[in-house]
């Protein structure tokens, strides 16, 4: 019998706990606040930001949106970010990616104060994750670890494969699994015999960004399958990396798309904003 990992339900439960925590912080005169930078009018980015604002409102985290035209200069954007680095009322800074081509994403991320980097992408925070002393962790892998914890999925000694090697999901995901004593294989679009390799794994995390990429040929009976993909099929329907109907009967646990990993990503962003507030206001 396959268990569906319900990310929406887990996110709602965690967000309710966060709401109570934010109430307590208010009594200590600490009020978590997040500023989100959006450059241009990418529809997907606007949707993500709207979902973040809804979650923040529910929890009681103050959010401010700084929306700039797509032709803003890199220099001007960096000046705007510095304002919030220096503003003690804001504990978290998030720059919605992707940015227009004329702006260097790496330079922008470097200019966010690591203490306020609630997305966990600053090289200092990535380095802390690598050394096992993480403060801010990229939110999608962090959310997946919470799913494993909530569903009591054992990781120690297990063979895990991460398909996709981005800085946002793949690389930090591998580090988090290693920290829990899993044996991790990093795979990607150049990996030879990928299906045969994946079929040896107890845990598959797919973040390759190709719809229906992971078929039943990739999955052995009883494997745990985490689908990070957000793709559209030819009819515009939202689908994951995993061919769900084929894989679901084989897996022991599987995340659906939607209502799987997505809600957890936003939830962990809120969690890290609260943590950043506590570090900046109470320590």
Active site residues: 52, 96, 119
Strands 238-239 and 231-232: antiparallel
Check the annotation: does 165 bind a ligand: yes
> What is the rounded distance in angstroms from the CA atom of residue 168 to the CA atom of residue 172?
7
> What is the rounded distance in angstroms from the CA atom of residue 250 to the CA atom of residue 36?
40
What single-letter DSSP state applies at residue 115?
G
> What is the rounded distance in angstroms from the CA atom of residue 52 to the CA atom of residue 50?
5
- Could you tell me if 62 and 34 are in contact, meaning their C-beta atoms sit under 8 angstroms apart? yes
Check the annotation: does 19 bind a ligand: no
User: Cα torsion for 12, 14, 17, 21, to the nearest 10°?
Assistant: -120
| Biggest CA-to-CA distance, the chain | 57
Strands 183-187 and 224-227: unpaired
Check the annotation: does 150 bind a ligand: no
- Could you tell me if 55 and 266 are in contact, meaning their C-beta atoms sit under 8 angstroms apart? yes
Both tokens of residue 140?
Answer: 């999608």
Q: Which residues are part of a known binding site for NADP(+)?
A: 164-166
């Amino acid at each position: 019998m396959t268990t569906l990992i319900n990310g929406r339900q887990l996110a709602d439960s965690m967000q309710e706990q966060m709401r109570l925590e934010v109430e307590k912080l208010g009594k200590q005169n600490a009020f978590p606040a997040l500023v989100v930078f959006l450059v241009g009018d990418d529809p997907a980015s606007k949707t993500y930001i709207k979902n973040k604002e809804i979650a923040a409102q529910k929890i009681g985290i103050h959010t401010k949106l700084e929306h700039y035209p797509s032709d803003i200069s890199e220099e001007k954007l960096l000046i705007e970010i510095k304002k919030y680095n220096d503003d003690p009322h804001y504990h978290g800074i998030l720059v919605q990616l992707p940015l227009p081509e004329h702006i260097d994403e790496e330079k922008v991320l470097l200019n966010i104060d690591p203490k306020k980097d609630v997305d966990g992408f600053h090289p200092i925070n990535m380095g802390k994750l690598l050394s096992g002393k993480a403060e801010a962790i990229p939110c999608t892998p962090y959310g997946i670890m919470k799913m494993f914890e909530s569903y009591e999925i054992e990781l120690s000694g297990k063979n895990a494969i991460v398909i996709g090697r981005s800085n946002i999901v793949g690389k930090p995901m591998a580090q988090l699994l290693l920290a829990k004593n899993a044996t991790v294989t990093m795979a990607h679009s150049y990996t030879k015999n990928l299906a045969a390799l994946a079929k040896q794994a107890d845990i598959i995390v797919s973040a390759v960004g190709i719809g229906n990429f992971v078929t039943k040929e990739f999955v052995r009976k009883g494997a745990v399958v985490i689908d990070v993909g957000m793709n559209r099929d030819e009819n515009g329907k939202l689908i994951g990396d995993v061919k769900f109907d084929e894989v679901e009967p084989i897996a022991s646990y599987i995340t659906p798309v939607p209502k799987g990993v997505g809600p957890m990503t936003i939830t962990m962003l809120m969690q890290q904003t609260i943590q950043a507030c506590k570090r900046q206001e109470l320590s």
